Chains A and B, each alone.
Chain A
Amino acid sequence: MQEKEIRTIKDLSREEFLTKGHGACPGCGVAVAVKNIARVLGKNTIIYVPASCLIVFTALYPSSAFKWPFLYTAFENTGAVISGIKAALERRGKQGVTVVGMAGDGGTFDIGLQALSGAAERNDDVLYVCLDNEAYMNTGIQRSGATPFGAWTTTSPVGKKIQGKREFKKDLDAIVAAHGVPYMATLSIAHPNDFVRKVQKAKITNGFRFLHVLCPCVPGWRSEASKTVAIARLAVETGMWTLYEIDHGVEKLTYKPRELVPVKEYLQLQGRFRHMGEDDIEKLQNWICEKWRNQFYEEVPVPPCKLEKVKKELILDEDPLHGP
């Protein structure tokens, strides 16, 4: 049976595959992302989750919040396990089952990178989702390869000599794209239609698919619970997070802020950047401009890089509801 193509959030199913009653913190970005990915993927799915917040709040034996078969083994082998599940399904002649692995940023950027690389290189027919909350939040906020420059974590503390993390975020998307995977995309929970369109595309593509979602974390980012979606939106508007997809080698920017908002506005909403001085913010801003230039071969309009206070309303996605 041909299922209806999902183009906007109106087409999402009313049936939930991540049930209520899970134990995530109030305002959890991971829960928003996973719940909506689940709504798109639908019934015929098997999920694998390595050690992360996601397993802790959804699947504590013997109960589970997923209505799917759920697997869990070790931290570092998401790519290998989902490849194995798919191989087993193929051996048994089962068609049309989506195998999805949902790892955190620690399990993808650092610990699980080799298994991810292996699965991408073999082009196994699986979907890999990286839920990026920019630190090891499950074990109490330790720095990972995904933590942005200047952010406070328990292993990159704020002291007299060093204030926050000194290294910039690893460009994992470029690493995955370099494998020549059929489909990869970056997602933001603040752009719903873009979100479901990309997940739908990932669902119907054959071969290795990679989705990278930015998930704000309330205790780790020291933000307000209600601001989760607003922060995710500002991440896109400031250029900290770029929304694009690579579909069989064709790179496409799916949403471009008309003008980059100074990164300061994004940093202000989060306690993990509270200590940052002007020179550190400028360094981060220059990094964003540099990234933009490298990624899209396009000069960024001058104002954000000079870090002047720009009074401008947020430019929102093409959704008419976001008009002024």
Chain B
Amino acid sequence: MYEIRFHGRGGQGAVMAAQALAEAAVLEGYFAQAFPYFGAERRGAPVRAFARIDKEKIRVKSQVYEPDILVVLDESLLEIDPVGEGLKPSGKAVINTTKMPEEIDLGVEVECGTVDATGIALESIKAPIVNTAILGALARVFDVISLESILNAIMNRFGEKLGHQSGVMNAEAARIAYLRTKIGRCSARRQLAKTKVWLPAWYEIPPGNALPQHAIEGVLIGPGSMVQNYTGTWRTQTPHYTKDKCIRCLRCWFSCPEGCIERMEDDYERWDYRYCKGCGICAQVCPVNAIEMIRGVHEWQ
């Protein structure tokens, strides 16, 4: 049995990728299943999807904890999530990045294919939805499923849902990605830290379920504890603030959904880029264009 785990961000299409892969496996005569991780995840938040492929009927229904194939749809996830966790040393990985496989550090040394799926997606489908491009790369690394089946599955799945033209464009993205994938071995320099989850036993839950405001083993719990989530890794564009132009109207401060704009004592602003999701509302509401959005993740003082 082959177990595949997809790591992506909400909106990138990790779930669709898993489903298309399962469909491709069915076209090849395998049994397959595909399902997402059920959590409360929003657009831009790290998400997971899983697929299983086998010659026989699959009776396992759990999540994939020890994948044979790891697919990472967003490079920045390598820094915030232990994506390589549980990956078998005999496994393989596909990563969306502009780097060479040797520069990638997964924490496990495996055969690794890298592809600039974002670039290919922007080129062929004019949107940063990378799931189909990454499937093309997956066909190159994971030789059980042929590229033809993957292209057919993409045509079926996307053609049915979004129209024939969309299916053709997505299949083209997969074909280009198949050709451009670089194969190598990634390195294992980083330590894979176990993600800490506080799961209280019944006697640890405070009376009335009211959580106090404190830390347990370094993990904050209780009111205000979400400050430990650095949501700034979600952004693809960064606001740049020009203090000279600012007229201190506080409109950006009012309209920021994150609260990452800090209002100083003299009513000028400062950005806390650790939390900025790059939505661009601040630049939109600024009456004097003191804020402009710049592509990429930056930090300015």
Instruction: Provide the A5-27 mask, 1 if CB < 8 A to any CB of B, else 0.
Output: 00001101010101111111111
Inter-chain contacts of B263 with A (CB < 8 A): 14
Asked if A291 is an interface residue, CB under 8 A from chain B, the answer is no
Inter-chain contacts of A64 with B (CB < 8 A): 211, 222-226
Chain A nearest CB: distance from B166 CB in Å?
Answer: 15
CB < 8 Å: which of A57, A58, A225, A230 contacts B279?
Answer: A225
Inter-chain contacts of A218 with B (CB < 8 A): 43, 279
CB < 8 Å: which of B210, B250, B284 contacts A10?
Answer: B250
Flag if A26 contacts B285 (CB, 8 Å): no
Chain A nearest CB: distance from B255 CB in Å?
Answer: 5
Flag if A26 contacts B230 (CB, 8 Å): no
Inter-chain contacts of A61 with B (CB < 8 A): 211
Whole-angstrom CA separation of A218 from B277 in the bound complex = 13
Flag if A57 contacts B223 (CB, 8 Å): no
Asked if A176 is an interface residue, CB under 8 A from chain B, the answer is no
Given contacts A16-B259, A226-B284, contact A26 B235 (CB under 8 A): yes
Asked if A201 is an interface residue, CB under 8 A from chain B, the answer is no
Inter-chain contacts of A25 with B (CB < 8 A): 10, 42-44
Q: B274: nearest residue on chain A (CB-CB)?
A: A20
Within 8 A of A (CB), among B248-278: 249-251, 253-260, 263, 267, 272, 274-275, 277-278
Asked if A56 is an interface residue, CB under 8 A from chain B, the answer is yes
Given contacts A18-B259, A20-B259, A23-B40, contact A66 B224 (CB under 8 A): yes
Whole-angstrom CA separation of A56 from B10 in the bound complex = 15
Inter-chain contacts of A224 with B (CB < 8 A): 280
Whole-angstrom CA separation of A61 from B293 in the bound complex = 34
Inter-chain contacts of B222 with A (CB < 8 A): 62-64
Asked if A36 is an interface residue, CB under 8 A from chain B, the answer is yes
Given contacts A24-B257, A321-B249, contact A57 B42 (CB under 8 A): yes
Q: A225: nearest residue on chain B (CB-CB)?
A: B279
CB < 8 Å: which of A26, A32, A36 contacts B278?
Answer: A26
Chain B nearest CB: distance from A232 CB in Å?
Answer: 9
Q: A33: nearest residue on chain B (CB-CB)?
A: B257
Given contacts A20-B260, A35-B259, A229-B285, contact A27 B228 (CB under 8 A): no
Flag if A189 contacts B255 (CB, 8 Å): yes
CB < 8 Å: which of B41, B229, B260, B280 contacts A226?
Answer: B280
Whole-angstrom CA separation of A22 from B227 in the bound complex = 8
Whole-angstrom CA separation of A57 from B272 in the bound complex = 19
Instruction: Provide the A218-245 mask, 1 if CB < 8 A to any CB of B, else 0.
Output: 1100001111111000000000000000
Flag if B281 contacts A27 (CB, 8 Å): yes
Inter-chain contacts of B228 with A (CB < 8 A): 21, 63
Inter-chain contacts of B246 with A (CB < 8 A): none
Given contacts A20-B227, A21-B231, A67-B224, contact A227 B254 (CB under 8 A): no
Whole-angstrom CA separation of A67 from B211 in the bound complex = 12
Instruction: Provide the B185-198 mask, 1 if CB < 8 A to any CB of A, else 0.
Output: 00000000000001
Given contacts A20-B259, A23-B42, A24-B257, contact A226 B223 (CB under 8 A): no
CB < 8 Å: which of A20, A68, A69, A230 contacts B272?
Answer: A20
Instruction: Provide the A45-83 mask, 1 if CB < 8 A to any CB of B, else 0.
Output: 000000000001110111111111110000000000000
Whole-angstrom CA separation of A63 from B222 in the bound complex = 5
Flag if B247 contacts A227 (CB, 8 Å): no
Asked if B158 is an interface residue, CB under 8 A from chain A, the answer is no
Asked if A31 is an interface residue, CB under 8 A from chain B, the answer is yes
Inter-chain contacts of A227 with B (CB < 8 A): 284
Flag if A21 contacts B211 (CB, 8 Å): no
Flag if B254 contacts A26 (CB, 8 Å): no
Flag if A26 contacts B43 (CB, 8 Å): yes
Flag if A21 contacts B230 (CB, 8 Å): yes
Q: B255: nearest residue on chain A (CB-CB)?
A: A229
Whole-angstrom CA separation of A316 from B285 in the bound complex = 13
Chain B nearest CB: distance from A228 CB in Å?
Answer: 6
Asked if A28 is an interface residue, CB under 8 A from chain B, the answer is yes
Flag if A32 contacts B257 (CB, 8 Å): yes
Chain A nearest CB: distance from B285 CB in Å?
Answer: 5
Flag if A226 contacts B279 (CB, 8 Å): yes
Asked if B78 is an interface residue, CB under 8 A from chain A, the answer is no
Flag if B258 contacts A225 (CB, 8 Å): no
CB < 8 Å: which of A18, A68, A229 contacts B281?
Answer: A229
Inter-chain contacts of A36 with B (CB < 8 A): 254
Flag if A26 contacts B234 (CB, 8 Å): yes
Asked if B183 is an interface residue, CB under 8 A from chain A, the answer is no
Inter-chain contacts of B42 with A (CB < 8 A): 23-25, 28, 56-57
Chain A nearest CB: distance from B190 CB in Å?
Answer: 24
Chain B nearest CB: distance from A131 CB in Å?
Answer: 13
**A-to-B contact residues, CB < 8 Å:** 9-10, 12, 14, 16, 18-29, 31-32, 35-36, 56-58, 60-70, 189, 192, 218-219, 224-230, 321-322
15 contacts between A and B (CB under 8 A): A12-B254, A20-B275, A23-B40, A27-B280, A32-B281, A56-B42, A62-B211, A64-B223, A192-B254, A218-B43, A225-B280, A226-B281, A226-B284, A228-B257, A230-B284
Apart from A23-B229, A227-B284, list 15 A-B contacts with CB within 8 A: A10-B250, A19-B226, A22-B258, A23-B41, A23-B42, A25-B43, A26-B235, A32-B255, A32-B257, A62-B198, A67-B224, A192-B250, A219-B11, A230-B284, A321-B251
- The 3 A-B pairs with the shortest beta carbon distances in the complex, nearest first, are A226-B280, A31-B257, A27-B279
